[in-house]
């Protein structure tokens, strides 16, 4: 089913849940090299839901807990390899989509959770889909936002000049950071600098990359979000990991891998939320997913861009979790 949400007529409460603090947290050693940070909040005896953050390299924030009813859900947040509080910071070694999928399973086992709901936006939607396709028996429901399938055309749109047609003012500092003779592939050119032996070169490239992506992340620019690009610790992980995954095309065996494997998860109750004016992850990707997976609810927010915290998107994400909550409470299928 397809439905549109805008400023009027949606009837949704646009408030997310109040701030809450974790009741437990820790680090899980997932390899000889990597340890990932995790935390739990909400109801310790509630229905488990795992939040899969974007980027890659974005990490989580306290606001990510606020999309879920804390009386019903056992809310699990974690930082993917190299991101946020996970160690080693911004590390690209042993860092592939398949490593992250294994980490999610290790975390589920560590927390003694038989199955859980999965929630992911942007790159988080990519990883949530890939995880669910690898472990469909462990997923009770899916909420996906700002669909990104990591196809070549999506990466080129974001990093090779496509989105510059809408944000030329934000694009030019990104473009101009790279000498003209290296602009044939910005991903390669930034990779060289993000992995330089000189830390200041890495930081400069990371700030430039991060600010470009953050500047196009909202329908109306968010000064608070863009300011995160000045934080070298955050920017280094965000830029290095995102560039690494784009350079390796998500480590998928084919460009259409996620679309080709929808049959594995077709039975899972799923809600897709997409901003109409999403410049980071244009709506065509969500539309392509909708066409191969018409059984999933498809919500287009008419007055929104990419970010999860835009009012219309946040309202639909809360509503999606409420819908899946009612399915679980009812013990049956969604309407």
Q: Which residues are catalytic?
A: 122, 278, 306
> If you search the block for the tokens 């199955």, which residue do you land on?
115
Instruction: Give the pairing of strands 24-29 and 35-42.
Output: antiparallel
Cis amide leading into 169 (omega within 30): no
Tokens of 131: 């995880």
Beta strands across the sheet bearing 73-78 = 2-5, 297-301, 270-275, 139-145, 116-121, 47-52, 73-78, 35-42, 24-29
Residue 332's pLDDT band, with cuts at 50, 70 and 90, is: low
Tokens of 74: 């056992």
Rounded-to-integer distance, Cα 177 and Cα 101, Å: 34
Pair 104, 139: CB distance under 8 Å: no
The 10 Å Cβ neighbour count of residue 9 is 8
Rounded-to-integer distance, Cα 215 and Cα 30, Å: 33
Of 167-181, 212-226, 236-250, the poorest mean pLDDT is in 212-226
Asked if the 24-151+251-332 domain carries CATH number 3.40.50.300, the reply is no
Q: What confidence score (pLDDT) does residue 11 get?
A: 35
Average of per-residue pLDDT values in the chain: 94
Pair 189, 178: CB distance under 8 Å: yes
Per-residue pLDDT tens over the stretch 162-214: 999 999 999 999 999 999 999 999 999 999 999 999 999 999 999 999 999 99
Q: Where are the domains of the chain?
A: 24-151+251-332, 153-250
Nearest alpha-carbon partner for 30 in 38, 18, 41: 38
Helices (H) and strands (E) in the chain — how many of each?
11, 9
Phi, psi of 39 (to 5 degrees): -150, 155
Mean pLDDT of the region 23-37 = 98
- State whether residue 215 is helix, strand or coil: helix
Mean pLDDT of the region 44-65 = 97
- State whether residue 144 is helix, strand or coil: strand
Residue 8's pLDDT band, with cuts at 50, 70 and 90, is: very low
Contacts of 149 (CB under 8 A, 6+ apart): 126, 129, 256, 258, 259, 285, 288, 289
Per-residue pLDDT tens over the stretch 110-159: 999 999 999 999 999 999 999 999 999 999 999 999 999 999 999 999 99
């Amino acid at each position: 089913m397809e439905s549109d949400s805008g400023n009027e007529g949606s009837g949704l409460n646009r408030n997310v849940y109040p701030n809450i603090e974790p009741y437990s947290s820790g680090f899980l050693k997932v390899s000889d090299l990597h340890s990932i940070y995790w935390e739990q909040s909400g109801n310790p005896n509630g229905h488990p839901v795992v939040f899969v953050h974007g980027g890659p390299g974005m990490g989580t924030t306290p606001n990510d807990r606020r999309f879920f009813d804390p009386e019903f859900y056992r809310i699990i947040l974690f930082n993917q390899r190299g991101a946020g509080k996970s160690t080693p910071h911004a590390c690209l070694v042993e860092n592939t989509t398949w490593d992250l999928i294994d980490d999610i399973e290790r975390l589920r086992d560590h927390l003694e959770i038989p199955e859980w709901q999965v929630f992911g936006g942007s790159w988080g939607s990519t990883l949530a889909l890939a995880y669910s396709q690898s472990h469909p028996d462990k997923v009770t429901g899916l909420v996906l936002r700002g669909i990104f399938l990591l196809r070549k055309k999506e990466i080129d749109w974001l990093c090779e000049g496509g989105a510059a047609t809408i944000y030329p003012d934000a694009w030019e500092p990104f473009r101009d950071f790279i000498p003209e003779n290296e602009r044939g592939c910005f991903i390669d050119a930034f990779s060289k600098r993000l992995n330089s032996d000189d830390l200041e070169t890495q930081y400069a490239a990371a700030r430039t990359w991060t600010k470009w992506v953050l500047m196009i992340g909202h329908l109306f620019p968010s000064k608070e979000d863009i300011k995160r690009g000045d934080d070298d610790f955050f920017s280094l992980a965000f830029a290095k990991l995102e560039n690494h995954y784009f350079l390796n095309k998500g480590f998928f065996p084919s460009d259409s891998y996620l679309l080709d494997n929808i049959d594995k998860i077709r039975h899972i109750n799923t809600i897709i939320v997409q901003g109409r004016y999403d410049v980071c992850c244009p709506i065509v990707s969500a539309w392509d997913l909708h066409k191969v997976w018409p059984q999933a609810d498809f919500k287009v927010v008419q007055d929104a861009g990419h970010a999860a915290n835009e009012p219309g998107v946040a309202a639909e994400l809360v509503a999606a979790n409420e819908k899946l909550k009612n399915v679980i409470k009812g013990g049956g299928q969604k309407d």
